[in-house]
Each structure stands twice: as structure tokens, then as C-alpha cells.
Amino acid sequence: GEDVEQSLFLSVREGDSSVINCTYTDSSSTYLYWYKQEPGAGLQLLTYIFSNMDMKQDQRLTVLLNKKDKHLSLRIADTQTGDSAIYFCVRAFGNEKLTFGTGTRLTIIP
């Protein structure tokens, strides 16, 4: 089946960079997304990357895609307390089906 794996927890000091990693088994993705879920809230789209791209940068966020290794990462520069959340790696194939990773809970250490 299609698996998307993430580490469950990550702790980072305020001001440092956070790197959240994701690996997947099926290479037939069209888009890969990062969603953010704050406590008690729904998921919000943070950023995305087309499967034919290697990198995308959006302000403090950098997404890197290594198609050969089936590895996706999200780097958050200058991590702030407001970045505390669960981050989901999501891959899409076709028009309807998304596969979610387990989510990585990012904790910011003051």
C-alpha cells in the first residue's frame, strides 16, 4: 500500500531552524503538501510542491523533495513559539485521494 512516514516528535529551540522529514513508498505522486494543525483546530495548508520540482521556498519555509530517495522535508527558519503544531506530510495521486503521514508534533523550547 501507500505509506507516508514521519517522526512523531521534534523539539527545537526558539530561533533555531526546524527540519521535519517525511518518507513515502509510492513514487506516483503528483503533489506533495505540508499541512499544519494547531491545538484544537483543523488542518491548514502550509505549502506544497509539485512532484517535478526539487525545492520550493516561501518566506521562512523551504521544502526539499528528493524523488530518488522518496524523501520530503520541511525546513522552518527562525522557529517561533507560534510554530508549535503538528505538521502533516501529505501526498496526492489522482484527483481525489490523499495519503497522510502520522504527523510530527513540533515543540518549541524557549
Partner 1 sequence: NAGVTQTPKFQVLKTGQSMTLQCAQDMNHNSMYWYRQDPGMGLRLIYYSASEGTTDKGEVPNGYNVSRLNKREFSLRLESAAPSQTSVYFCASSAPGRSGNTIYFGEGSWLTVV
- Our finding on whether 46 is near partner 1 (CB under 8 A) is no
Cβ 63 vs Cβ 89: under 8 Å = no
From the list 54, 30, 44, 49, the residue with the least C-alpha distance to 87 is 44
Give the span between the Cα atoms of 85 and 25, in whole angstroms: 25
Q: Name 91's Cβ contacts closer than 8 Å, sequence gap at least 6.
A: 2, 4, 24, 26, 29, 31, 32, 33, 98, 99
- Measured from the CB atom, the residue of 28 and 110 that comes closer to partner 1 is 28
Binds partner 1 by CB under 8 A, chosen from 10, 43, 61, 64: 43
- Our finding on whether 55 is near partner 1 (CB under 8 A) is no
- Measured from the CB atom, the residue of 1 and 82 that comes closer to partner 1 is 1
- Our finding on whether 110 is near partner 1 (CB under 8 A) is no
- Measured from the CB atom, the residue of 11 and 30 that comes closer to partner 1 is 30
Nearest distance from C-beta of residue 79 to partner 1, angstroms: 23
Cβ 12 vs Cβ 106: under 8 Å = yes
**Residues within the interface to partner 1 (CB under 8 A):** 4, 8, 30-31, 33, 40-45, 48, 50, 88, 92, 95-98, 100-103
